[in-house]
Amino acid sequence: MATTTTSIPDLCAAARRAARRLAAVDTAVKDAALLAIADALIARTPEILAANELDMAAGREGEIGAALLDRLALDPARIAAIVAGVRTIAALPDPVGELIEGRRLPNGLDVRKVRVPLGVVAVVYEARPNVTIDAAALCLKAGNSIVLRGSSIAAHSNAVLATIAAEAAVAAGLPEGCVSPVAGGGREELAELATQNDTLDLIVPRGGEGLKAALKEVATVPVIYAASGNCHIYVDETAHTEEAAAVVVNAKTQRPGVCNAVETLLWNREAQQFMFDVLIALAEAGVQLRGDEHTRAIAGRVAKECGKWAIEPEDVTLAQTIATFVQPATEADWDTEYLSPTLAVRMVESIEEAIEHIAVHGSGHSEAILTCDTAAARTFQRGVDAAVVYVNASTRFTDGGEFGMGAEIGNSTQKLHARGPIGLRELCTFKYLVEGDGHVRA
């Protein structure tokens, strides 16, 4: 982002002043501001793409890797998807003022519990310029001002996106300071932002474990961690073989460099026909495996029956092919978020063993079971502790847009306040409104 011309304390103080005004802004004004942001993004798409290409060129030169480049990249289709998300958020019901519950006490007091904005939300994120707009739109709709601190990798993209959002929002009637970009900066700047107790109500970091650790060291402002995803799929012996294989391939390959892509496949010893099908499908998709001894044994049997993998040159021997396709898994593989076309694979004896493996190695993000057994599905749903638990579906659906939230700031793996996709309601708190008629307490 562009260099901050205002100190962080002053910037956060301005965001606090904006938040007090935003809390009372009518829904129609907020929605009009979001639609103005969407229109401005379309109108200024060439400017956005030019800024993004500067970041992409620097990323390629710096060899940041395919996964980060994929997260960083914008094109007309991705900008259109961002715009669609903003418009969807504008069309969603306003959570501010929503009645959560209400009752009359025996003493005649009327008590209502209603949603209210959090106030000022700071979002710290890495290499995802779309978060600039997703986060701003969600926060504004929920009546919050937002402080945006993106990564230096996406500095040009974030700067132009934040400028567009701020200018369009203010022109549509929202207060100055409602969208405030902070420079990428270093650890000192991050620490300063994370200790603005008097003006910030919440920080949401969206990035890797390094960002999470850095904030844990210094943050005194409350934090909801949109953390990494070491996601699993367990396939039991009753799963429909072809459908299960298609789900696994989708969960791994549809977009490998994101937090809801599957990283470990667990399969029941009795699901060997599934393994024959999925190994062929994964090989054709170019996925590299880190397998336990049982998985490698199955791969050897498949190779003998099917010959060389189609993805390998014809002059590569069968032994070399198998050695390349299925490498021996180490203990570290079960804890690795690859964010690439690599998948750890392990055989388990039972659903209980699968649940135990997930309990030890999972990150609490998204877990799935593929089964035709209703009792097994319910056992998995009850036994797995994660923000989202799927039955017969890809983990790739853990997304605010897919869940009908328009967009998300991130996916929380915590249990307090917010869990799973962080959307409009997760950006609110509540207050009790109590009305009496001259009541005094005896």
DSSP letter for each residue of 135-194: HHHHHHHTT-EEEEE--GGGHHHHHHHHHHHHHHHHHTTPPTTSEEEE----HHHHHHHT
Give the separation between CA 196 and CA 15, rounded to whole angstroms: 12
Exposure string of 369-407, with b = 16+ CB inside 10 Å and e = fewer, is bbbeeeebbebbeebbebbbbbeebbbbbbbbbeeebbb
Exposure string of 218-248, with b = 16+ CB inside 10 Å and e = fewer, is ebebebbbbbbbbbbbbbbbbbebeebbbbb
pLDDT at residue 5 in the model: 64
pLDDT at residue 93 in the model: 96
pLDDT at residue 4 in the model: 46
* Percent with pLDDT over 90 in the chain: 77
Q: Is the pLDDT of residue 373 over 90?
A: yes
Q: Is the pLDDT of residue 242 over 50?
A: yes
Q: Give the pLDDT confidence of 140-186 residue by residue, as tens digits.
A: 999 999 999 998 899 999 999 999 999 999 999 999 999 999 976 67
311 confidence band (pLDDT: 50, 70, 90): very low
289 confidence band (pLDDT: 50, 70, 90): very high
For the chain, list the domains and their CATH numbers.
8-226+409-435 (3.40.605.10), 231-397 (3.40.309.10)
pLDDT at residue 10 in the model: 95
410 confidence band (pLDDT: 50, 70, 90): confident
Q: How far are the Cα atoms of 340, 344, 356 from residue 361, in angstroms, in the given order?
A: 18, 12, 9
Mean pLDDT of the chain: 91
How much is the average pLDDT of 15-33? 97
Residue 412 in tokens: 């929380």
Give the helix ranges, DSSP H, for 44-73: 45-61, 66-72
180 with 15: CB under 8 angstroms?
Answer: yes
Q: Which of 93-107, 332-346, 386-400, 412-426 has the lowest mean pLDDT?
A: 412-426
Strands 110-117 and 428-435: antiparallel
Q: Is the pLDDT of residue 349 over 50?
A: yes
206 confidence band (pLDDT: 50, 70, 90): confident
Q: Which residue would you say has higher pLDDT here, 46 or 415?
A: 46
pLDDT at residue 319 in the model: 47
pLDDT at residue 323 in the model: 53
3 confidence band (pLDDT: 50, 70, 90): very low
How much is the average pLDDT of 374-394? 97
Return the closest-CA partner of residue 108 out of 437, 429, 365. Answer: 437
How much is the average pLDDT of 300-323? 56
73 with 58: CB under 8 angstroms?
Answer: no
Entry pTM: 0.85
pLDDT at residue 314 in the model: 47
How much is the average pLDDT of 25-54? 98
Give the separation between CA 168 and CA 171, rounded to whole angstroms: 5
pLDDT at residue 193 in the model: 95
pLDDT at residue 324 in the model: 63
Coil/strand/helix, residue 424: coil
Q: Give the pLDDT confidence of 250-270 residue by residue, as tens digits.
A: 999 999 988 999 999 999 999
303 with 269: CB under 8 angstroms?
Answer: no
Q: Which range, 280-294, 353-367, 405-419, is most confident?
A: 353-367
Question: In this structure, how many other beta carbons lie within 10 angstroms of the beta carbon of residue 349?
Answer: 10
How much is the average pLDDT of 128-140? 95
pLDDT at residue 425 in the model: 94
Q: Is the pLDDT of residue 321 over 60?
A: no
Q: Which residue would you say has higher pLDDT here, 304 or 361?
A: 361
11 confidence band (pLDDT: 50, 70, 90): very high
